[in-house]
Structure 1
Amino acid sequence: MKKLFLLVCLFSSFSILAQNVSGISKDAFAHTFSIVARDTTTGEMAVGVQSHWFSVGSIVSWGRSGVGVVATQSFVNPAYGPEGLDLMAKGIPADEALARLVENDEGRAFRQVAFLDVNGNVSAFTGEKCVEAAEDVQGKNFSVQANMMLNDKVVPAMAEAFVRFSDLPLAERVVKAMEAGQEAGGDIRGKQSAALIVVGPQKTSKSWEDKKIDLRVDDHTTPVKELGRLLKVHRAYEHMNKGDLAVEANDMEKALQEYGAAEKMFPDNLEMQYWKAVALANSGRMEEATPIFKKIFAQDDNWREMTRRLPASGLLTISKEELEQLTQ
């Protein structure tokens, strides 16, 4: 009860402050820790963030392929996201772009922002009114920033972890950094939401291709852990998508490899088992495919009906006799 009272008082205090300080009267809270980073091998850029605030990813993390990424937090001015990306899209380096926006922001004393551009330039700003522990630190192709942390160990721990796990893909490195930040103390209020975005090194006019990874955990008791789980699911479905493309190209061996890779990651997932069985059947390996199909049908009979419908779409190329025998 005492803890709840303190949290209510804290929220009320921030509400009164926001109403009386010029420049932040309408701004959302997102006191948090985050990382912006670039992979020097692939050129991919990422933002990872966690906070004890609902849906932190909807307001803190911004990115655009071939341009850069932005994390805007503390008393959030969301304009830093799109406006910062627009400036960097014009070729303005991260430090100059950030400086321009900070200079024109009446609420800059309460802001914490980090920019990273496609060339790996990084810049961050932590306003003097950000709640301690608040700081930012930059390294080669990354910046870590945090405010309202339990202690001053969070930012160094995140930076160290990002450097240490350099052998991992960018998204996994970012999650490792976030895990380290939480283990070091994290947000003094606890944890609630997290997000991860990854954009590519080349500009694209196709908005649906802009984000390579876009994951959000809006409300969870262990958001970074859940984010890591979702990233693993994402990787598995990357294999599934590649398997689908192989089926379209009638390359069943490639499809089997990709579906099999996905199934190894999530062996209890019926969808992954199913499409592996389809690929086996289309390769003439009905003896291997049949027991997989039968096992799936026993768990959920809807897959049996699904199988009956596939030949009309050309996704299952077995004979009518084989289909009848399989689905009876």
Structure 2
Amino acid sequence: MTFSILAREGRDFGVAVASGSVGVGRRVPWAERGTGAVATQGLTQPSYGPAILELLRKGLAPGDCLKRVLRGDPEREERQVLVLGPAGHAVHTGKNCLQFCGHAVGEDFVCGGNLLAGRKVLDAMVEGFRGETLAVKLLSSLTAGARAGGDRRGQRSAALLLTGSPPIKLEVVDSPDPISELWGRLERITRV
């Protein structure tokens, strides 16, 4: 259904995400400078993003944030949630998430997905996390994941969210090639 990557560079955080569903940028990515980043996917619960950021702001560890929001959620086994804080990460992949599902961790980033073409998607995302800026690293990783098969249904929407100065929020709501469109939009705004 969806694959995403969360990364940090100093106090800045970013999320890049692609999905076979439309409008992924409105539901999945959340980030706040100096606080952290969240991706809520699978059976998406958008309220988890702001709730986890609030808990991170209060100083809770990413794992404790996840435990708090998942406690009492009768649909937690259908959800996948990735959290990256200033000093750590946590991932929950419910046992009922669509296969292939999983996550991978690198230095200062975590990526994950469900309904993927296989483990090769996550491996490619890890290898693809390269570039001169956080935005380029995130989109390079997302591109590598898509080339490795990405969402088994294909990609219809994508988004890039970056904290910093200035913050960046780009979304392609519905397109046959949303990641390429994100690259084009990023190039247009960074040329200025």
With the length of structure 1 as denominator, give the TM-score of the two structures: 0.57
Q: Which runs of 4+ in 1 moved over 2 A?
A: none
Q: Measured at CA, do residues 222 and 120 of structure 1 come closer, stay the same or move farther in structure 2, by a change above 3 Å?
A: farther
2:126 corresponds to 1:148: no
> Which residue type is aligned with residue 52 of structure 2?
G
Does the Cα contact within 8 Å between 1:36 and 1:142 map onto a contact in 2? yes
Q: Structure 1: which 5+ residue stretches go unaligned?
A: 1-30, 201-208, 238-328
Instruction: Return the match for 1:76 from 44, 65, 72.
Output: 44
Alignment-derived partner of residue 172 in structure 2: 217
Specify the code of the residue in structure 2 equivalent to 1:57: G
The reply to whether residue 112 of structure 1 matches residue 80 of structure 2 is yes
What do you get for the CA RMSD once the two structures are aligned? 1.3
Within the candidate set 19, 30, 35, 1:62 is matched to 30
Equivalence for 2:139: 175
Give me the whole-angstrom Cα distance separating, in 2, the residues matched to 1:223 and 1:188: 15
Question: Aligned residue for 1:188?
Answer: 152
Which of 99, 104, 113 is the matching residue for 2:67? 99
Q: How high is the sequence identity, in percent, across the aligned residues?
A: 36
Letter in 1 for 2:6: V
Q: State the one-letter code of the partner of 1:123.
A: A
Q: Secondary structure at the match of 2:34?
A: coil
Q: Could you tell me whether the CA contact under 8 Å between 1:123 and 1:138 is conserved in 2?
A: no
Residue 129 of structure 1: aligned partner:
96
Q: Number of residue pairs matched? A: 192
How far is the alpha carbon of 1:99 from its aligned partner? 2.0
* Corresponding residue SS for 1:76: coil
How far does residue 139 in structure 1 lie from its aligned partner after superposition? 2.1
For residues 137 and 72 of structure 2, what CA distance do their matches in structure 1 show?
Answer: 34
Alignment of 1:19-34 (within 5 A): 31-34=1-4
User: Cα offset for 1:156?
Assistant: 1.2
CA-CA distance at 1:146 after TM superposition: 0.6
2:190 corresponds to which residue?
235
Higher helix share: 1
1:141 and 1:93 mapped to 2: Cα distance?
15
Alignment partner of 1:198 out of 156, 162, 167: 162
Please list, as runs of the form range in 1=range in 2, the aligned pairs for 1:281-320 lying within 5 A after superposition: none
1:161 aligns with 2:128: yes
Structure 2: runs of 5 or more not aligned: none
Contact 2:124 2:144 in 1 (8 A): yes
Asked if the contact 1:125/1:136 (under 8 Å) is kept, the reply is no
Change (3 A) 1:104 1:140: farther
Is 1:47 the counterpart of 2:11? The answer is: no
Q: Secondary structure at the match of 1:225?
A: helix
Which protein is bigger by CA-based radius of gyration?
Answer: 1
SS at match of 1:69: strand
Structure 1 residues 216-225 or 136-145, which shifts more?
136-145
Query: Normalized against structure 2, the TM-score is what?
Result: 0.95
CA distance in 1, matches of 2:142, 2:62: 23
| Aligned-residue offset at 1:176 | 0.3
Higher relative contact order (CA 8 A, sep 6+): 2
Question: Is this contact kept in 1: 2:17–2:25, CA < 8 A?
Answer: yes
Shift of 1:147: 0.3
| Higher strand proportion (structure 1 or 2) | 2
Partner in structure 2 of residue 258 of structure 1: none
The C-alpha deviation readout for 1:30-77, integer Å capped at 9, x for no partner, is x200001111xx431100000011110000011122211110001001
1:120 CA drift (Å): 3.7
Q: Distance in 2 between matches of 1:227 and 1:120?
A: 29
